[in-house]
Amino acid sequence: MNKLTPELYKRNRAKLVKFLKPDSVAIICSATHSLRTRSLYNEYRQSSNMIYLTGVMQEETVLILFPGHPKQEFREVLFIRYTDDKTLTWEGHKHTKHEAAIISGVDNVKWSSDLPAFLKKIIENASYVYLEMGDEWPSNDMSISASYRFSEDIKSKYPAQRFEKIVPLINQLRLIKENTEIEIIKEAIHVTGKTFCEILPLVKPGIYEYDVEAEISMRFIKAEKCPHAYLPIIASGMNSTILHYNFNNAELINGDLLLLDFGAEKSGYASDLSRTLPISGKFTKRQAEVYKSVLAIMKETKKLMVIGNTIDKLNESVGLMMEEELIKLKLLKKSDIKKQDKENPLYRKYYMHGTSHFIGLDVHDCGNREVIFAKGMVLSCEPGIYIKEEGFGIRLENDILIDKTPIDLMEKIPIELKEIEELMRK
């Protein structure tokens, strides 16, 4: 259940309708409840756009916005699932109309069974119909998304209508977080940070990656059942060189490193943390050297996360820093860098991902590499060095709020080498 007041969602809707062409209707639909196998479901995750506009975390929810409609009762309507006796028996309570109105701040709530008749009444009166056309998903996955199927259905039922994409408009808004949203992200970060500090002394040789995962998940569940914002990466030894390693099933070996990349989600908003620890409790000389390089790059990169910059430019700057550090670490030679193909720089062998992504309702939130940083944006800062031939990778990641000067929202979460070793001894 969402603890937020409806004020945030009301403001979000008010911002969105300003973007719509006159006499337009916008339709936003919830995520489907996906099956895990046959008749049993995955844990439900609402679509981020539905959370952004209503806060309703329930399937079969549809929001209709028709700000220019002459009749008040058509301007803002929320459709929710009716709880019949069978649903009550198998799934339990679903929102009443009143509850959905309290959460979302939409006064006019109807049952989803009334939606087709309602759409028929209003769509033909609208000059444009704004739909999520699946484009909140990567193009490969568009066709499996509920929003894509919904919009295809509407388009086929009303072929004479003019359709517009709503997702680019919502994305524009979601890029800038207002204070309420930043406070929620801070809550998610608090759960993540506290968990990290508590598990540090538990890491030791002989336990398994899943033991660490269990310690994290247990703490998230105890923190009012916070979901993971994404599958946690608990990667020891060679596994730490696999960027999105999720098996989390290897034994922790003395002398290896353990790379952790995990984050709690709160009221739909993500946090995203990466830290790398010595399993023995003490970094080897070589591990410490590489760790210091990654940390130095991170500190310099944070300073560049200022209004006016972009992820593209940030990556360019990090590329240059990376070259310098990789030379110091004797992984690259200056002479080779001078001759390198600029399109395919040599540092990519040891650093093959971007330094930053937007964070919000999605952990990899909307916003591309050309978006110009503005106050209120939240981004990750996550350099790494992965050395397959030496059997380890190091990634460090904090979440940064763009403001007059960059604000590190994870500043208090231990990261200094000595600090980490100290906390692991406890």
Query: Min. distance of Cβ 353 from Mn ion in angstroms?
Result: 9
Smallest distance, Å, CB 205 to Mn ion? 28
State the burial class of residue 15 (Cβ atoms within 10 Å of its Cβ: 0-12, 13-18, 19+). middle
Report residue 330 as tokens. 């004797």
Q: How far apart are the first and last CA of the chain?
A: 37
User: Shortest gap between Cβ of 190 and Mn ion (angstroms)?
Assistant: 18
Binding part of the chain for Mn ion, among 2-10, 36-44, 270-278, 371-379 by CB under 5 A, reads 270-278
Beta carbon nearer to Mn ion, 167 or 359: 359
Residue 399 to residues 181, 244, 361, 382, Cα–Cα distance (Å): 14, 18, 14, 9
CA dihedral 69, 50, 356, 294 (to 10 degrees): 160
Q: Under the criterion CB under 5 A, does residue 362 sit at the interface with Mn ion?
A: no
Closest approach, Cβ 261 to Mn ion, in A, equals 7
Please, what is the minimum distance in Å from the beta carbon of residue 395 to Mn ion? 9
CB of 302 to Mn ion, least distance (A): 14
Q: Is the dihedral of CA 303, 305, 308, 310 positive or negative?
A: positive
Q: Which residues in the 92-151 window bind Mn ion by CB under 5 A? A: none
Shortest Å distance, C-beta 265 to Mn ion = 13
Q: Considering the rule CB under 5 A, would residue 398 count as an interface residue with Mn ion?
A: no
- Identify the sign of the CA torsion 196, 274, 44, 90: negative
Q: Which is nearer to Mn ion, 135 or 365 (CB)?
A: 365
Residue 276 touching Mn ion (CB under 5 A) = no
Q: Which is nearer to Mn ion, 232 or 281 (CB)?
A: 232
Please state, in angstroms and rounded to a whole number, the distance separating the CA atoms of residues 408 and 356: 13
Strands 163-165 and 128-131: parallel
95 or 395: whose CB is closer to Mn ion? 395
Q: Is 355 in the site for Mn ion (CB under 5 A)?
A: no
Q: Are 176 and 374 in contact (CB under 8 A)?
A: yes
Please work out the total of residues on this chain that contact Mn ion, with binding judged by CB under 5 A: 2
Query: Which window, 101-109, 181-189, 272-280, 334-342, contacts Mn ion (CB under 5 A)?
Result: 272-280
Q: 110 - beta bridge partners?
A: 79
- In the list 272, 362, 365, 399, the residue contacting Mn ion (rule: CB under 5 A) is 272
Backbone angles phi, psi at 22, to 5 degrees: -60, 150
Shortest distance in whole angstroms from residue 248 CB to Mn ion: 17
To the nearest 5 percent, what fractions of the chain are helix, strand and coil? 40, 20, 40
Interactions with Mn ion, residue window 366-385 (CB under 5 A): 380
Q: Which is nearer to Mn ion, 76 or 265 (CB)?
A: 265
278 or 384, CB closer to Mn ion? 384
Q: Where along the sequence are the contacts to Mn ion (CB under 5 A)?
A: 272, 380
